[in-house]
Structure 1
Amino acid sequence: MDRRKRRTRRLLGEALLELVQEKKWDQITIQDITDRADINRATFYLHYSSKEKLLADSLEGYFDELVKQIAAKTMNKPIWENPEADEMVFAHVAEHADLYRVLLGENGMGYVINRVIDYIAQFSELQLRAGLGNIELQLPIEIMARHVAGSLFALVTWWLTNNMPYTPREMAEMSIRLCVTGTMPVKQA
């Protein structure tokens, strides 16, 4: 991509990321973005078909940089041996907290997703409390329930977008296995 295209995309991305911190997502128009970037509206459509595509492209830039930092610092260790990677993710979110609060908060794109996950987490917490009884837990039960809910939501989303390559039963078994034993591979004897 030549310099002018990179510059235009950067200006559009910066404009959108500023706007999402000022306005609700559904109130932001393409005209708002192009006005803020000081770019012609037609130019926007030469690069993107929607504000969602622009947002995804802009966020991928953040994520690409984060992945490079993680790879450099952790020497590509597997994630199950690598708490530094998760720490870097949380540090990245903290550094850009205003943006993520808007995107994932009540007025952002994540509102419906968070409502679904919250609902699953509430149910999961009830199930965990009932099933675990008085067992001393190593983690707060709220965190465990949120993990189960987020994992289930992510798996359902992946399954649907990949044309359901596994049966519901297979997906359920994999989901349970991941939540019970995690992602760390079992070493063969």
Structure 2
Amino acid sequence: MNPDDPRAQRTRTRLRAAILHLAARRDPAALTMAAVARQAEVNRATVYQHYPDLDSLLTDAMEDAVTHLAHAAALCPLDAPRDHAPAPLLDLFGHVAANAALYQRMLGTQGSARFITRIRHGVTTALTDRFTQGHRPPCPPGVPVDVHAAYLAGALTGVIAHWLTERPADPPHDIALAFWRLFRPAGAPATNTPP
């Protein structure tokens, strides 16, 4: 099958929409290819022609979300005041809040390990690129750029997951500010030289 064929692209779009619709309403572990096929109004064999398993389909469907998170994380200005979360971070947490049901399911205990890995990888890559260009927050000497980026990506993913599962009533602004304060501890200089 040619993935560039317009019919194939339309089918994949329907499949992605179907799984996002279902995943926002029930645990990803409870989803089946048959349910996705019914929601997308295609036969089950068609789903398998495009995706080998549900995790692949779900990860592909969430790719825009991963891109959004990675982009917002990489745009945070390092010189923003410690007591005011920067606009890209507020945007990131606002996006998650607007799609809370889906993120809760994807990042919760029954969520998709592949999706969690994809978020961490996407954010790590975006931060590594930014840090390599000289926009790196303070860290101890000798810490490789990619290790620093992976550390922060894991922290961000962990904070989002904890917020959605343990503190869902907290406003996104409050969680963004808490994360920013952890990211920029008191007394930390605003910039760091590249390694």
- TM-score, normalisation: structure 1: 0.51
- Measured after TM superposition, the shift of residue 182 of structure 1 is 9.1
Q: Counterparts of 2:111 and 2:27 in 1: how far apart (Å)?
A: 6
| 1:166 matched residue in structure 2 | none
List structure 1 runs of 4+ shifted beyond 6 angstroms: 178-183
Q: Counterparts of 2:189 and 2:49 in 1: how far apart (Å)?
A: 44
- Measured after TM superposition, the shift of residue 32 of structure 1 is 1.0
The answer as to 2:69 corresponding to 1:63 is: no
| 2:154 matched residue in structure 1 | 154
- The verdict on how the C-alpha distance between 1:22 and 1:187 changes in structure 2, with shifts beyond 3 A counting, is closer
- Measured after TM superposition, the shift of residue 179 of structure 1 is 9.2
- The verdict on how the C-alpha distance between 1:184 and 1:34 changes in structure 2, with shifts beyond 3 A counting, is farther
The answer as to 2:60 corresponding to 1:53 is: no
Is the partner of 2:11 in helix, strand or coil?
helix
Q: Counterparts of 2:75 and 2:108 in 1: how far apart (Å)?
A: 32
Q: Counterparts of 2:79 and 2:13 in 1: how far apart (Å)?
A: 35
- The verdict on how the C-alpha distance between 1:5 and 1:88 changes in structure 2, with shifts beyond 3 A counting, is same
**Identical residues among aligned pairs (%):** 30
Q: Alignment RMSD, CA only?
A: 3.8
Kindly provide the CA deviation profile for residues 143-163 of structure 1, in whole angstroms up to 9, marking residues without a partner as x. xxxxxxx938939xxxxxxxx
| 2:78 matched residue in structure 1 | 80
Tell me which of 27, 43, 48 is aligned to 1:24: 27
Q: Counterparts of 2:79 and 2:10 in 1: how far apart (Å)?
A: 39
| Unpaired segments ≥5 residues, structure 1 | 114-149, 156-177
Is the partner of 1:80 in helix, strand or coil?
coil
- Measured after TM superposition, the shift of residue 91 of structure 1 is 1.3
- TM-score, normalisation: structure 2: 0.50
Count of aligned positions? 123
Q: Counterparts of 1:67 and 1:55 in 2: how far apart (Å)?
A: 18
- Measured after TM superposition, the shift of residue 183 of structure 1 is 9.6
| 1:168 matched residue in structure 2 | none
The answer as to 2:189 corresponding to 1:186 is: no
Residues 36-185 of structure 1 mapped to structure 2, 5 A cutoff: 36-64=39-67, 79-81=77-79, 83-109=86-112, 151=151, 154=154, 184-185=191-192
Q: Counterparts of 1:17 and 1:96 in 2: how far apart (Å)?
A: 10
| 1:11 matched residue in structure 2 | 14
2:16–2:58 CA contact under 8 A, matched in 1: yes
- The verdict on how the C-alpha distance between 1:42 and 1:87 changes in structure 2, with shifts beyond 3 A counting, is same
Is the partner of 2:95 in helix, strand or coil?
helix
Report the structure number with the largest CA radius of gyration: 1
Please identify which structure carries the higher helix content.
1
| Unpaired segments ≥5 residues, structure 2 | 81-85, 117-149, 156-182
- Measured after TM superposition, the shift of residue 4 of structure 1 is 1.6
Is the partner of 1:186 in helix, strand or coil?
coil
2:106–2:112 CA contact under 8 A, matched in 1: yes
- Measured after TM superposition, the shift of residue 31 of structure 1 is 0.9
Kindly provide the CA deviation profile for residues 54-102 of structure 1, in whole angstroms up to 9, marking residues without a partner as x. 111111123345667x59xxxx866424722212111111111121122
